[in-house]
Amino acid sequence: YEFETRTIYMTKQEIFQLEFENHVTEGLKAFPKFLSSKYIYDDRGDELFQQIMALPEYYLTEAEYNIIDTHKDNLRKVFNTHGAFDLIELGAGDGKKTKVLLKELVTNKVDFTYIPIDISQHAIDDLTNSLTTLLPDLEVQGEQGTYFKVLERLATYNKRPKVIIVLGSNIGNLDHPQAIDFLIKIKDVMSDQDFLFMGFDQKKDPLTIQHAYADSQGVTQEFNRNLLHRINKEMDGDFPVNNFEHWESYDPETGTAKSYLIATEPCVVEIKKLQLKTTFKKWETIHCEISQKYDDDTVEWLANKSGLEIEKIYEDHQKLFKDYLFKI
C-alpha cells in the first residue's frame, strides 16, 4: 500500500472557527443543550459587552473602577516592590480601568512596560493607539495570541519581575475545575518576585445579581442571542433568533448565576455547514454561561488548589467586588 501524507496548515482564526463548529455540534446534540458564551464575542458581541458594562444594573465595572481608583497609590507601591517590572494584562478590553492604573504609574515615573495580551490584534491596536495619545510616555508592547502561549514566551525571554492583571471577574465564566486549571497555568509562569492581581465578583443580595444579568433594556438578551446570530451567519443556520428568550437564574447557595436561551415556540433548526438538524420543544433550554460569584473562603480554596497565596484583598466602597493580590 502507498500512503500519502499531507501537512495541512491552518491559521489561528481557522482553528478557532473549527473549534466553534465542533462545539456547536456537541452542544446542540447534547441533552440538555448547551453553547459556550466564549463564542459570543465577535465584533457585535464585543460591542454588546461594552454596552453591558455601561448599564446601570451591571455594577461590576464601576465597582472595580472604584477599587483601582481608591487604591492606585498603594497598588503602585506594591507593584514596584522589586523595582522595574512588566505589567502584563490578560485581555486588552477598552482599558478604562487599566488606564487609571497606567496614569498613576506613568505620572510617578515608575519604570515598567505595559504588555496587554489579546487574541484580537484589532483590540490591541485600538488600545495602543488610544494610549499613545493619552500617555505618550508609556512604554506599550501589545502581544497578540492566546494568553498562555504568550505568557510562556514572555516568561522565557523577559527576566524582569511580572505583575499579571486580570480584571473584570472573567474567571467567573469558568467552573471551579476550569478556574483552577486557569490559575495553575498562570502560577506556572510566575517566579517568587511576581504578582497576580485578579478581579472576583462577590456574593451579595441575589436581586442585585439577578438584575445585573437580566437588565431592563434587554442588552444581555441580545448579547446571548448573538451566539445564535453567529451560527446563522457563519454556519448557514436558520435559528429563529427572536423565538429564544434570555433567562437568568442565580443560586445564592453555590454563588452561580446561569444564563439560558429558552425556545418560546417548538422549532426545527438546520445548520447546513454542520449537516445538523436539531429540534426544540417549547420551553427547551440552551445553557450559555455561568458567572460565578465568590467569597473569601472560595477564593482561598481556589488559591490553595492552584499553588497561589493571597497576599492582599482590595474591596470597593459598596462592598460588591474584590480584587485579590496573589503570589506563589
Residues interacting with ligand AVI, by CB under 6 A? 52, 60, 168-170, 172-173, 213, 220, 223, 289, 291
Measured from the CB atom, the residue of 46 and 188 that comes closer to ligand AVI is 46
Q: Which is nearer to ligand AVI, 126 or 188 (CB)?
A: 126
Q: How far is the CB of 3 from ligand AVI (least distance, A)?
A: 46
Written as nine digits, the cell of 208 is: 442585585
CB of 63 to ligand AVI, least distance (A): 12
The residues pairing with 86 across neighbouring beta strands, listed in sequence order, are 113, 162
Task: Name the residue nearer to ligand AVI (CB basis): 168 or 255.
Answer: 168
In the bound state with ligand AVI, the residue whose beta carbon lies nearer, of 173 and 193, is: 173
Smallest distance, ligand AVI to C-beta of residue 95, A = 15
Three-state SS string across the chain, please?
CCCCCCCCCCCHHHHHHHHHHHHHHHHHHCCCEECCHHHHCCHHHHHHHHHHHCCCCCHHHHHHHHHHHHHHHHHHHHHCCCCCEEEEEECCCCCHHHHHHHHHHHHCCCCEEEEEEECCHHHHHHHHHHHHHHCCCCCECCEECCHHHHHHHHHHHCCCCEEEEECCCHHHHCCHHHHHHHHHHHHCCCCCCCEEEEEEEECCCHHHHHHHHCCCCCHHHHHHHHHHHHHHHHCCECCCHHHEEEEEEEECCCCEEEEEEEECCCEEEEEHHHCEEEEECCCCEEEEEEEECECHHHHHHHHHHHCCEEEEEEECCCCCEEEEEEEC
User: At closest approach, how far in Å is the CB of 190 from ligand AVI?
Assistant: 23
Find the distance separating the first CA and the last CA of the chain, reported in whole Å.
Answer: 55
Nearer to ligand AVI, 107 or 208 (CB): 208
Distance CA 181, CA 184 (A): 5
Q: Which is closer to ligand AVI, CB of 63 or CB of 88?
A: 63
Q: Which is nearer to ligand AVI, 60 or 75 (CB)?
A: 60
Among residues 107 and 318, whose Cβ is nearest to ligand AVI?
A: 318
- Taking the complex as a whole, the smallest distance from the CB of residue 104 to ligand AVI amounts, in Å, to 24
What minimum distance in Å lies between the beta carbon of 169 and ligand AVI? Answer: 5
304: nearest Cα among 315, 293, 313, 296: 296
We find the least distance from the C-beta atom of residue 24 to ligand AVI, in angstroms, to be 19
* Least distance in angstroms from the C-beta of 261 to ligand AVI: 12
> From the CB of 289, what's the least distance to ligand AVI, in Å?
6
CB-closest chain residue to ligand AVI? 291
Residue of 84, 139, 4, 73 lying closest to 314 (CA atoms) = 73
**Residue 95 — left, alpha, or beta (φ > 0 → left; ψ -120 to 50 → alpha)?**
left
Using the minimum distance from each CB to ligand AVI, give the nearer residue, 52 or 106. 52
